[in-house]
Amino acid sequence: MTTRWMERVYDQDKAANLARDMDLRPIVARVMAARGIDTREAATAFLGPKLEHLGDPGLLADMPAAAERIVYAVRQGQTIGIFGDYDVDGVTSTTLLWEFLEQVGAKVFATIPDRLKEGYGLSVPGVERLKAAGAQLIITVDCGITAHEEVLAAVQHGIDVIVIDHHTVPVELPKAVAVINPHRVDCSSDAKHLCAVAVTFNLCLAVRRMLREQTYFANCQEPNMRAALDLVALGTVADVMPLVRDNRVFVVHGLAVMARNLRPGIQAMLHAASIDPSKLSAGTLGFHLGPRINAAGRLEDAMQAVHLLRARDFGQALVIAEQLEKKNAERRSLEQAIVQEAIAEVEASADHREAKVLVVGREHWHPGVVGIAASRLVDKFGKPAIVIGEGGKGSGRSIPAFHLHEALCEVKSSLHGFGGHAHAVGVQLGTKSLSSFRDALLAHAHKILRAEDLGRVVLHDGAIPLEEVSDRLVEALSQIAPFGRANPEPVFRLNSVTATSIRELKGAHLRGIVRGAGQDIGFIAFGMATQAALFQKPVDLLAVPEINEWQNRKQLQLRVKEVAETKQ
């Protein structure tokens, strides 16, 4: 499989104007322009994200109806049932809505389905649980957009339903009181970049506004929605949403909330994972906290994670956090085994190697981690991948050129059910075999994908000389943080450098020194021990300049992402 290094495209004139108008270092302006931030207006909002920049919640379709029904439930003392999804977005949405409704005096009962027993989305057993708890209104968060039968079942029980979701919208909406989804064609909010917890936050703002207009808070305290931004930031980053516009505001201010007042549940997770709270970043949310919360839903009960985030006592939270730490270790072990088997299957099969989409499955693979395995296959082979586990339950991940949800719509006759969006889906095989599903999907992919759409493409922000890497450069680039989808961390190409003092670390990592004209800089290359021989010759690197903090010492280093032998 080929790997291509490609420089991100940007308008040089716009980058130069941006550097002049905003008094930015040219390299910072270049990086911003390559991410579409190439005007003074866009740069001003990007570099100074403010809460007043957030969109109006009332522009989301059905928001007035949803707010009115919730306000009625609060005033009438009705029990409101929350039905959430079992991933981080669902867990943070459930927690945020539960806390808000309690703060305005509502009676609340929340539930999240058992992934292995009930599967994804609103279920009839879930409706029955909420009915038994006395719910007269059900609010689904991060699910429900395709739950036509389940919403009807609730309505037949005399229970109203509000759907909060951000997944692909079907032609016909469920018969709910309100369906809030920024992907609705009649939604005027222009908020398609939001995940469920961000939409839920907007719902809470709309309800608070309506209660405020009715002078509801004359005799009780108004909820401080700024305090909930830690949950919005966590869900947004963990759900890999683009860190632009409202999402950038949410994450910047959410991290600030965490820095000022870390909720006991997050503090406990950091403690259990031996992570310094002072080093919290978007990367911490995505790579450390997110997987631990997901581990609860993948392997056991996601309500554990909700109780953790709602905990008011550190000792109580630590008990749950340590349980999740063990679950996360178990998840990593399962994931590693599945990934190794899946890669071996692909590499051993000429059919897989020639296919434009990878579809693999084993009955003993745990359905809770097949999505992670699919991501690893996409990263390694540069093709869309769907991994099927026990009971025909699977997950898929894709590449930019292949809309995975649309592809499944074309082959839905070979599936019992599916859901998701362009980049990620969940599937349930029907009575037909894995091979039938694979054949149907491959036939569709053959019509859609070209050879040039496949293979690994690694983007970077241009070549720089080693002597340009400095503490000042890292500090200047920090203005662009937080990094994530649609705002990736800056990666630079360093040509024809020499590596010395190379040693292998535990975990198959490499550490050493890169030497160039007039400067030596330490480097770390995670998981690249198998490529150690390459470093014996002059190499080209793709690397992230950063400051490494270890035992109270700060040192400039390069975090190597890719290495290739220098072509003479």
Report which residue type is found at 77: G
Query: What is the DSSP-derived secondary structure letter of residue 253?
Result: H
Tell me how far apart the alpha carbons of residues 251 and 236 are, in angstroms, rounded to a whole number.
7
Decide: residue 23, CB within 10 A, 0-12 exposed, 13-18 middle, 19+ buried: exposed
Mean pLDDT for the chain overall: 92
DSSP-derived secondary structure for 15-28: HHHHHHHHT--HHH
Quote the strand ranges of 466-552, DSSP E.
Answer: 492-505, 509-516, 519-525, 539-550
Q: Is the domain 349-454 a CATH 3.40.50.970 member? A: no
Length of the chain: 568
Question: What is the rounded CA–CA span in Å between residue 302 and residue 116?
Answer: 12
3-state secondary structure of 386: strand
pLDDT reported for residue 471? 94
pLDDT at residue number 423: 87
What is the mean predicted confidence (pLDDT) over 158-182?
Answer: 94
244 neighbors 480 (Cβ within 8 angstroms)? no
- Helices 290-299 and 264-272 meet at what angle, rounded to 10? 90
Instruction: Decide the pairing of beta strands 79-84 and 135-141.
Output: parallel
Position 447 pLDDT exceeds 70 = yes
Task: Identify the pLDDT of residue 166.
Answer: 94
| 528, 510 contact by CB (below 8 A) | yes
What pLDDT digit, counting tens, does each position of 354-398 carry? 899 999 999 999 888 898 899 999 999 999 999 999 888 899 999
* C-beta atoms surrounding 245 within 10 Å: 20
Q: Nearest-CA neighbor of 289 among 227, 228, 238?
A: 238
Tell how strand 178-180 and strand 393-397 pair up: unpaired
Residue where the block lists tokens 């009575």: 431
Q: In 300-398, which ranges are continuous DSSP H helix?
A: 303-310, 314-347, 350-354, 370-381
Q: 564 forms bridges with which residues in the sheet?
A: 540
pLDDT at 1: 59
Task: Name the CA radius of gyration of the chain, rounded.
Answer: 24
Q: Tokens 């031996």 appear where?
A: 274
Record: fold of 462-565: OB fold (Dihydrolipoamide Acetyltransferase, E2P) (2.40.50)
What predicted TM-score, i.e. pTM, was given to this entire model? 0.89
Q: Output the pLDDT for position 120.
A: 76
**Contacts of the segment 10-14: beta carbons below 8 A, 24+ positions apart:** 10/34, 10/38, 11/38, 14/38, 14/39
Distance CA 494, CA 529 (A): 20
Q: Where are the domains of the chain?
A: 57-223, 349-454, 462-565
Using one digit for the tens of pLDDT, what is the confidence trace for 390-441? Answer: 888 899 999 989 999 999 999 988 888 888 888 889 888 876 688 889 999 9
Which tens digit of pLDDT belongs to each residue from 319-363? 999 999 998 888 889 889 999 999 999 999 999 988 999 999 999
Q: Which amino acid, 555?
A: Q
* CATH code for the part of the protein at 57-223: 3.90.1640.30
Are 198 and 250 a contacting pair, CB within 8 Å? yes
